[in-house]
Structure 1
Amino acid sequence: MVLGIDPGTAICGYGFVEQIGSRLVPHAYGAITTPSKMQPERRLLKIYTELENLIQEHRPSAIGIEQLFFNRNVTTAIPVGQARGIALLAAAKNDIPIVEHTPLQVKQAVTGYGKATKEQVIYMVTKLLHLPEPPYPDDTADALAVAICTAYCVDSIAWRNRI
């Protein structure tokens, strides 16, 4: 089982996915939210504590996270980078390998098209995981997409190591 994370300080999406043969099975997914009026260090502590609890409960073999890519809004890049750092810290503390993906790789893995729209990604995540309805909020769908991409990568690495 792998954990996909979509980092953010207001909403941090997470999703646990297991690949069993050719099937992708969701185990737990959702979002960690923090109030906007909360002090930044308290927001990060809340995200860290909840991620730590989720990791302890589900014991993923790898954690997937997107590489930071901001072409316009540098102001939002800083808090996202901080939340990303918290996720990396939680992984390191639990000795879990990190698998980093570009947004293009995640979209390619989930939809077959690296420039897919958010709606296309959400649609395919819902179909691939046989979910009764699209994951909400979008950050959860993004985290599940990262988890799917990570599951494919981890499976492919394991396959290569068997040869």
Structure 2
Amino acid sequence: MWESFLVDEWHQVVEAMIAAALLYAFVILSVRVSGKRSTSQMNNFDWVVTVAIGSLMASGILLQDVSLFESMAAIGTLLGLQFLLTWVILRWEAMEELVRADPRLLFHDGEFLWSAMRRERVCKQEVLSAIRANGMRDLEEVQSVILETNASLSVLPRPKEEDEPGRRALQDVHGISVDS
């Protein structure tokens, strides 16, 4: 009785193990060929591809009506589309503007930027958590908190007097002027 509860058919378990090993090897090889960006989370599109690859692998491993080749073809197609999209973005600025999210300033010079935080759906506690995670105890230590294009929060410490002129890393952040 317990055997049928745990395993219906042993051959299905063996098939799943073989499919998992083959899909794993295929994904490792495909990611190696398509580049590191395939599994990064540099932007929302990269995240979608990473999650979709996991789902396609699971389908190919566990679902009887999805063949191993179908899963491999779908994974290869996704990686190819991601490669093509990033290739186009690097060569056509209009496409980059269309698909890339801009970093957004959420906290600057001691003030929470509430309208930006509402627009991005980030609460005060998340900003404070990022500040603490960067080893800062006082808001006076922080110049800026930026929501990056990959949804991470960057915390920039208040610059020392001698560091003040260097602001070029902030040039693409929505909500700040480079000379402020």
Pick the TM interval, shorter chain.
under 0.3
TM-score (ref. length: structure 1): 0.23
Which fold has the larger relative contact order, with Cα–Cα distance below 8 Å and residues 6 or more apart in sequence?
1
TM-score (ref. length: structure 2): 0.21
Give the structure with the larger helix fraction.
2
Give the structure with the larger strand fraction.
1
Larger-Rg structure? 2
